[in-house]
Amino acid sequence: MSVRDAFYDVLRTHGITTIFGNPGSNELPLLKQVPDDFRYVLALQEGVAVGIADGFAQASGVPSVVNLHAAAGTGNAMGNLTNTQSGHVPVVVTSGQQSRRYSALNALLTNVDAPQLARPLVKWSTEPLRASDVPLALSKGILLASAAPAGPVYVSIPLDDWDHPADPATTRLLTRRGLHGAPVAADPPLRQLAGRLEAAGNPVLVLGPDVDDPVGWAGAVRLADRLRLPVWVAPSPSRCPFPTRHPAFQGLLPAGVGTVADRLAGHDLVAVFGAAVFRYHETVDGEYLAAGADLWSVTSDPDEAARAPMGHAVIGDPSDALTRVAGLVPSRAVAGPPTVDHAPPAAADGPPFAAEAILDAVNAAKDDATVIVLEWTSADMIWDRLDLTRPGSLYFPASGGLGWGLPAAIGIQLADPARRVIALIGDGALQYTVSGLWTAAQHRIPVVFVVPRNDEYAALKQFTELMDAPDTPGLELPALDVVGLATAYGVPAVRADTLDAFTTELRRALAATDGPRLIEIPQRRFAGDQP
């Protein structure tokens, strides 16, 4: 038995039969005999490979494996790895190293100090000391990546390790390994939290991406209903943790220190589940919370718990905690929170169209099973325009790094063919990992890409106002032929110049299951571009 055979055996043990990657000479000895029960999904750039793997892991709940080319391939992947890390996504990144003999000479394509390269972005980074340790490193990597808090790991493997003999006895043991159970919060602090919620005069619930699962949704709805709590989504969310049309739903908290405090003013207890406290973005100074307010959070991530600037943190599975706290509190016979009026339908004039109008059309065309992947500045307005009724309905780059949405949409669609994916990707965001369109076309992965085209970086134009940075260069994106790009990569694409045409094309694309489609729609520019 070779190290290669053992590697595939360990992957099988964990239900992993897909490898995403981009190969080079260092990786060919792994890939030369891919077993029949495995599939290799080629990405033309490594950020694409990691993005697809990230989406695949999130939607399937199983860790995914990526194979990259040495330091250069790892470097290309690192932007998206920031999203995988922030999103608590279990991805095992392997990369090919020069042979052990040649890397001592810094031969071409040596990954110098390989474990160090990925270290800030992964839970664990290694290059096994002996070839025969590769299967154990892989096994540990898979188990560690999926242990709470989940996250990426990095294993660098020299190219001459693959034909080395593996120890069959060790391999046999590794193929029987499993890690069972997730750490749950202890009872006393949860009882304390439940007591605080019951005693509070005006408590509020804030939810984050890590409770976007069936248990978390059910627990959140039950807790909100029992205590008649208003419910907010924590700033910079990467997933949707609560039904957006539930009467208790208030929307998205802003991402500034002062603005969060303003929005939560009047509440004496803030209960946060499954979110960092908080993932701020724009600089808006102020107090973290109004004086007198208390905050409790539940997270499975000790770092998240410890780095919060305020409050008490309970460490444990936040979805489980929601359910248990909901079971501990009595039903409150008080009036429910004020219901938020949904945004009125947007004016449909154009082209170009307001982002709101594009979202309204998407909302009308989707059904309950549709998954929305967003990498578009207008993401903030989805919360009162999209009707999201099920867990796993929304994904956004968790660290804010662009180039994630397009490949992640492919991975999500590949993992869950029963749900159709609409990827709303800005014309700027599209460019970072545009070659992912080719992978979608080759594997006939039927993502519907919607690209609002405004020929600019509108997000950054907004920030130039907020940060008083007028006359910033480099915010215009003229002459990017989105339909041409998609067509060149093999994805059938159209431009919709009316909202009716957009709706028709969207429905047509959703009805097609034989591969991806792309629809470009003209979007109104940030300022002064009225129709």
What is the total count of residues that contact ligand TZD (CB under 6 A)?
A: 19
Which span sits near ligand TZD by CB under 6 A: 49-57, 336-344, 370-378, 483-491? 370-378
Q: Are 128 and 136 in contact (CB under 8 A)?
A: yes
Structure tokens belonging to residue 25: 């000479």
Determine which one of 55, 64, 69, 378 is catalytic.
69
Q: Are 519 and 483 in contact (CB under 8 A)?
A: no
**Given candidates 95, 377, 393, 413, which one binds ligand TZD under the rule CB under 6 A?**
377
What x/- string results for residues 265 through 304 when contact with ligand TZD is judged by CB under 6 A? ----------------------------------------
Strand bridging mode 231-233 / 203-207: parallel
Q: Are 37 and 16 in contact (CB under 8 A)?
A: no
Polymer length of the chain: 531
CB of residue 429 to ligand TZD, shortest distance in Å: 3
CB of residue 87 to ligand TZD, shortest distance in Å: 15
CB of residue 428 to ligand TZD, shortest distance in Å: 3
Residue 359 makes contact with ligand TZD by CB under 6 A:
no
Determine which one of 21, 46, 51, 86 is catalytic.
46
Q: Are 3 and 135 in contact (CB under 8 A)?
A: yes
Continuous H helices in 147-178: 168-174
Q: Which is nearer to ligand TZD, 131 or 346 (CB)?
A: 346
Strands, sheet with 493-495, edge to edge from the N-terminal-most edge strand: 394-395, 371-375, 421-425, 448-453, 517-522, 493-495
Continuous H helices in 430-513: 436-442, 458-466, 482-488, 499-511
Given CA atoms 15, 182, 370, 522 in this order, what sign does their dihedral have? negative
Determine which one of 2, 24, 198, 258 is catalytic.
24
Told to judge if 515 belongs to the known catalytic residues of this protein, a careful annotator would answer: no
Told to judge if 304 belongs to the known catalytic residues of this protein, a careful annotator would answer: no
**What residue is closest to ligand TZD based on CB?**
426
Determine which one of 61, 266, 281, 484 is catalytic.
281
Q: Which helix (H) or strand (E) holds 132?
A: none
CA angle centred on 66, ends 63 and 72, rounded to 5°? 145
CB of residue 406 to ligand TZD, shortest distance in Å: 11
CB of residue 151 to ligand TZD, shortest distance in Å: 19
Q: Are 131 and 161 in contact (CB under 8 A)?
A: yes
Told to judge if 180 belongs to the known catalytic residues of this protein, a careful annotator would answer: no
Q: Calculate the dihedral angle through the C-alpha atoms of 250, 398, 62, 325, rounding to the nearest 10 degrees.
A: -40
Q: Are 293 and 267 in contact (CB under 8 A)?
A: yes
Question: What residue type is 231 in one-letter code?
Answer: V
Structure tokens belonging to residue 94: 């392997």
How many CB atoms within 10 Å of residue 174? Answer: 21
Which span sits near ligand TZD by CB under 6 A: 14-22, 272-280, 375-383, 511-519? 375-383
- Under rule CB under 6 A, which residues in 424-483 are in contact with ligand TZD? 426-429, 432, 454, 456-460
Q: Which is nearer to ligand TZD, 42 or 460 (CB)?
A: 460
User: How far are the Cα atoms of 109, 249, 273, 329, 382 from residue 233, in angstroms, in the given order?
Assistant: 45, 9, 10, 22, 12
Determine which one of 400, 435, 443, 490 is catalytic.
400
What x/- string results for residues 34 through 73 when contact with ligand TZD is judged by CB under 6 A? ----------------------------------------
DSSP designation for 344: P
Q: Which is nearer to ligand TZD, 299 or 454 (CB)?
A: 454
Please state, in angstroms and rounded to a whole number, the distance separating the CA atoms of residues 94 and 77: 11
Told to judge if 281 belongs to the known catalytic residues of this protein, a careful annotator would answer: yes
- Under rule CB under 6 A, which residues in 390-429 are in contact with ligand TZD? 400-403, 426-429
Which span sits near ligand TZD by CB under 6 A: 29-37, 94-102, 108-116, 372-380? 372-380
Told to judge if 400 belongs to the known catalytic residues of this protein, a careful annotator would answer: yes
Q: Which is nearer to ligand TZD, 242 or 502 (CB)?
A: 502
Q: Which is nearer to ligand TZD, 402 or 410 (CB)?
A: 402
CB of residue 98 to ligand TZD, shortest distance in Å: 29
Tokens 């410890």, located at residue: 306
Determine which one of 15, 25, 61, 327 is catalytic.
25
- Under rule CB under 6 A, which residues in 141-200 are in contact with ligand TZD? none
Q: Which is nearer to ligand TZD, 356 or 427 (CB)?
A: 427
Backbone Cα Rg of the chain: 24
Q: Which is nearer to ligand TZD, 477 or 512 (CB)?
A: 477
Told to judge if 342 belongs to the known catalytic residues of this protein, a careful annotator would answer: no
Given CA atoms 363, 365, 368, 372 in this order, what sign does their dihedral have? negative
The residues facing 155 across adjacent strands are: 94, 126
Q: Which is nearer to ligand TZD, 79 or 274 (CB)?
A: 79
Q: Nearest Cα to 127, choosing from 107, 109, 142, 112?
A: 112
CB of residue 47 to ligand TZD, shortest distance in Å: 9
Told to judge if 236 belongs to the known catalytic residues of this protein, a careful annotator would answer: no
Please state, in angstroms and rounded to a whole number, the distance separating the CA atoms of residues 138 and 144: 10
Residue 376 makes contact with ligand TZD by CB under 6 A:
yes
- Under rule CB under 6 A, which residues in 70-129 are in contact with ligand TZD? 79
Residues engaged in binding ligand TZD (CB under 6 A): 79, 376-378, 400-403, 426-429, 432, 454, 456-460
Catalytic residues: 24-25, 27, 46, 69, 281, 400
